[in-house]
């Protein structure tokens, strides 16, 4: 038995023309190569009442009725639910969470509103959520702006500094992420020659500490790092070999923790920090003037990232893991 297919608009136009010629159901069915029960059902469902004994049939009206019935009988989409849609709007489109982060956090706090990241990505990709951001592209609110990840080859042009410890010398506890206090450090550049952000990320929790530095000069960066670590437990600090970290010995003297340096061109050895810097770029794109950004705004963004759920933490937030606290985010 062949698979049933619905009448097309062209077939409905043929039915309309043949009907107006006075043809019966069987004749129409032979002409359009359809079963007569299909034609009979079509005329019964979609003909319009008339003053004459014989109802009249119009193809455009029949097509509209067919489409309305199809829409009415389809299974409701998860994001038709206003509460789910509001969570996506608030946390993904406005709060800059990834769809996966929202999916995981919903499982923790609101399992009754479960929705998969695939469903959210599909809705964003289809344009269905553009209305939630004033008609603009919702995909532009994603971390990569809806673009696919590209592979790039190239060398990092860095100056050479004298390092105190190679990464291979770092304590095993730091590599295992088994304790709070093992940090990865880096900078996020703004406009050339201007201010930059110092980012210090705890390896175990992903907690982000740091502040704005007036420049990328080694003295300014070292000062910002020292201030960033005040009030925090510091066991080790892992850095790359950028010249901005040339005063690492003075930093060690100030905070009492040794610095360990990754091999050249090994950003994956500071993967937690690199990922966090990528999240920061959602707020501060490359080339932006960080001199025009207040310290209060930088602090607000850092706090927002610390309260964003992470997959590797079981969709807890860095704040919750680092502070051993619980938040209610949804």
Mapping DSSP onto H, E and C, the string for 72-91 reads HHCCCCHHHCHHHHHHHHHH
CB 44 within 8 A of CB 63: no
Tokens read off for 110: 């609101």
In what side-by-side order are the strands of the sheet with 208-213?
Answer: 208-213, 196-202, 182-189, 236-239, 258-261
> Which pLDDT tens digits describe the chain residue by residue (330 residues)?
456 788 999 999 999 999 889 899 999 999 999 999 999 998 988 888 755 556 788 998 999 988 888 877 777 788 888 899 999 988 888 888 989 999 999 999 999 999 999 999 988 888 888 877 666 677 777 877 666 555 454 444 445 789 999 999 999 999 999 999 999 999 999 988 899 999 999 999 999 999 999 999 999 999 999 999 999 999 999 999 999 999 999 999 999 999 999 999 899 999 999 999 999 999 999 889 999 999 999 999 999 999 999 999 999 999 999 999 999 999
Structural contact between residues 276 and 183, judged by C-beta atoms closer than 8 angstroms: no
> Are 183 and 170 in contact, with CB atoms under 8 Å apart?
no
* Pick from 151, 178, 154, 156: nearest CA to 240: 156
Long-range contacts of 42-51 (CB under 8 A, 24+ apart): 42/7, 42/12, 42/15, 43/15, 43/19, 46/12
Could you give the count of Cα atoms lying within 13 Å of 173 in the half-sphere of its Cβ? 11
């Amino acid at each position: 038995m062949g698979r049933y297919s619905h009448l097309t608009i062209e077939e409905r136009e043929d039915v309309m023309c043949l009907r107006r010629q006075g043809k019966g159901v069987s004749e129409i069915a032979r002409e359009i190569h359809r079963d007569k029960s299909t034609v009979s059902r079509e005329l019964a469902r979609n003909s319009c009442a008339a003053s004459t004994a014989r109802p009249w049939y119009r193809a455009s009206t029949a097509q509209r009725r067919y489409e309305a019935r199809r829409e009415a009988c389809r299974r409701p989409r998860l994001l038709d639910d206003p509460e789910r849609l509001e969570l996506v709007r608030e946390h993904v489109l406005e709060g800059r969470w990834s769809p996966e982060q929202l999916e995981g956090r919903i499982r923790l706090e609101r399992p009754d509103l479960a929705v998969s990241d695939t469903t959210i990505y599909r809705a964003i990709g289809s344009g269905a959520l553009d209305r939630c951001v004033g008609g603009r592209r919702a995909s532009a609110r994603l971390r990569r702006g809806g673009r696919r990840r590209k592979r790039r080859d190239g060398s990092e042009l860095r100056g050479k500094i004298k390092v105190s410890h190679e990464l291979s010398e770092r304590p095993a506890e730091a590599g295992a992420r088994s304790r709070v206090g093992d940090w990865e450090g880096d900078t996020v550049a703004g406009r050339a020659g201007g201010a930059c952000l110092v980012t210090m990320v705890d390896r175990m929790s992903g907690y982000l500490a740091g502040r704005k530095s007036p420049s990328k000069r080694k003295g300014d960066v070292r000062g910002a790092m020292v201030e960033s670590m005040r009030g925090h437990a510091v066991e080790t600090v892992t850095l790359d070999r950028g010249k901005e970290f040339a005063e690492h010995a003075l930093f060690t003297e100030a905070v009492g923790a040794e610095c360990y340096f990754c091999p050249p061109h090994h950003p994956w050895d500071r993967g937690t920090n690199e990922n966090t810097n990528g999240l920061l770029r959602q707020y501060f794109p490359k080339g932006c003037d960080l001199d025009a950004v207040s310290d209060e705004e930088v602090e607000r963004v850092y706090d927002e990232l610390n309260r964003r759920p992470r997959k590797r933490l079981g969709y807890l937030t860095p704040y919750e893991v680092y502070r051993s606290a619980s938040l209610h985010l949804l």
